Amino acid sequence: MPTAAFRFEPNAAPVATAARAERLIDPGFGRVFTDHMATIHWSDAQGWHDPKVHARAPLTMDPASSVLHYAQEIFEGLKAYRLDDGGIALFRPEANAARFQSSAQRLAMPELPQDLFVESLEALVKADADWIPDQEGGSLYLRPFMIASEVFLGVKPAAEYLYMVLASSAGSYWKGGARAISLWVSHDYTRAAPGGTGAAKCGGNYATSLVAQADAIRRGCDQVVFLDAVERRWIEELGGMNIFFVFDDGTLRTPPLTGTILPGITRDSILTLARAQGLRVEEAPYAIADWRADAASGRLVESFACGTAAVVTPIGQVAGPDYAFTIGSGGTGQTTQRFLDQLTAIQRGRAPDPHGWLHRLA
């Protein structure tokens, strides 16, 4: 049952056991939702109040709700895993809580206390633990988010907000299973500019990436990768994932966090694992011209993308307006596979957890 701070109002009409089992056979990603959600309200007058877990249901919103006009909205994404010993654990929820606060600060929204953020996840997972798929690779994807709910028209921070957490049963992120993906390098669109919201996890960043992602799909690629907004030279990130490069001397490089790139938790986890293994790690700029030249010469042997949903994904092919190149063999490299295996083993309690990343539910 949910934790003490959250009032629990059970769904009066939960999905039947047989129907739930059928949905969990092949849940895919982001389409199968559980019976409940967690909510907390905030106002200038009361602060954070009324935390509860209750039936997942449509929202009733006034058409003048601030979020619909001024886009004060932020979100997070993380997973709950069923461990081999039968327990359930979250992966680094405190890091998500800290990033949620940072995003709130950038969007002029109230900062949810980190312990309350984590408790909201625990409460919902305990209520809907039966929705975690038993299949290999299955998890419960959690989507905490916050919107400005005050009813007004005016350009100022809202005086009322609604925080919510949804839970979605998840299988494999990629249809057909994990594989090396192809990227389109966008020279027409950028994701973020210095001084903007690139380091915040807000919906606007993703909305502006969609036209570039659609362009990539039209050109036969799986994902788009963005260059910096100033020089259109430096590789930054994909539409929803950070990126890494592996060189023939074993060096691992990823673009630095300069305010235009989302500080990914999977990104940070890989950097931590790599340094603990004694690998040479660089958080340094990498130009698209160098990416092309190093792939052609063999100096670059692997590239991979990473994020909560897909974890670690190999990059095999890259294309731009007048060029195309293959990275390594075009498949999954040894370093990419090693980090994928290490991370998933820790997340599922199958390997030692020296950094204390697993947050087990009592």
- pLDDT tens-digit map of 2-57: 556 899 999 999 999 999 999 999 999 999 999 999 999 999 999 999 999 999 99
Q: What is the pLDDT of residue 174?
A: 63
Give the confidence band of 299 by pLDDT, cuts at 50, 70, 90. very high
d(CA 186, CA 144): 30
Residues 86, 92, 98, 100: what is their CA dihedral angle, to the nearest 10 degrees?
Answer: -60
C-alpha distance from residue 112 to each of 47, 103, 104, 161, 264 (Å): 10, 11, 8, 11, 19
Element (H, E) at 166: strand 160-170
What pLDDT digit, counting tens, does each position of 216-263 carry?
999 999 999 999 999 999 999 999 999 999 999 999 999 999 999 999
Tokens, residue 100: 């949620």
Identify the CA nearest to 161 among candidates 172, 175, 147: 147
Predicted local confidence at residue 1, as pLDDT = 46
Cα separation, 258 vs 193, in Å, equals 10
**Is the pLDDT reported for residue 146 higher than 70?**
yes
For residue 86, what are the contacts with CB-CB under 8 A and spacing of at least 6?
Answer: none
Mean of pLDDT values over 138-148:
97
Tokens of residue 268, six digits: 């940070």
Residue 175 has pLDDT above 70, yes or no: no
Residue 3: the pLDDT is 57
pLDDT at residue 322 greater than cutoff 60: yes
Task: Dig out the tokens for 243 from the structure.
Answer: 């990126």
The two structure tokens encoding residue 178: 């994990």
Instruction: Count Cα atoms within 13 angstroms, Cβ side, for 175.
Output: 2
Whether the predicted pLDDT of 119 surpasses 90:
yes
- Listed as own residue / partner, the contacts of 264-267 with beta carbons closer than 8 Å and 24 or more positions apart are 264/306, 264/307, 264/308, 265/78, 265/92, 265/95, 265/96, 265/99, 265/308, 266/242, 266/306, 266/307, 266/308, 266/311, 266/312, 266/343, 267/242, 267/306
Run of H or E including 265: helix 265-276
Q: How many CB atoms lie within 10 A of CB 296?
A: 11
Task: Please give the Cα distance from 264 to 102 (Å, whole number).
Answer: 13
The arithmetic mean of pLDDT across residues 103-117, rounded, is 98
Q: How many residues does the chain have?
A: 362
Mean confidence (pLDDT) of the chain? 96
What percent of the chain lies above the pLDDT cut of 90?
93
**What whole-number distance in Å separates Cα of residue 48 and Cα of residue 67?**
18
What are 226's strand-pairing partners?
186
Q: Are 273 and 342 in contact (CB under 8 A)?
A: yes
User: What is the sign, positive or negative, of the torsion defined by CA atoms of 234, 236, 239, 243?
Assistant: positive
pLDDT reading at 178 higher than 70: no
User: If you ran DSSP here, which 8-state letter would residue 299 be given?
Assistant: S
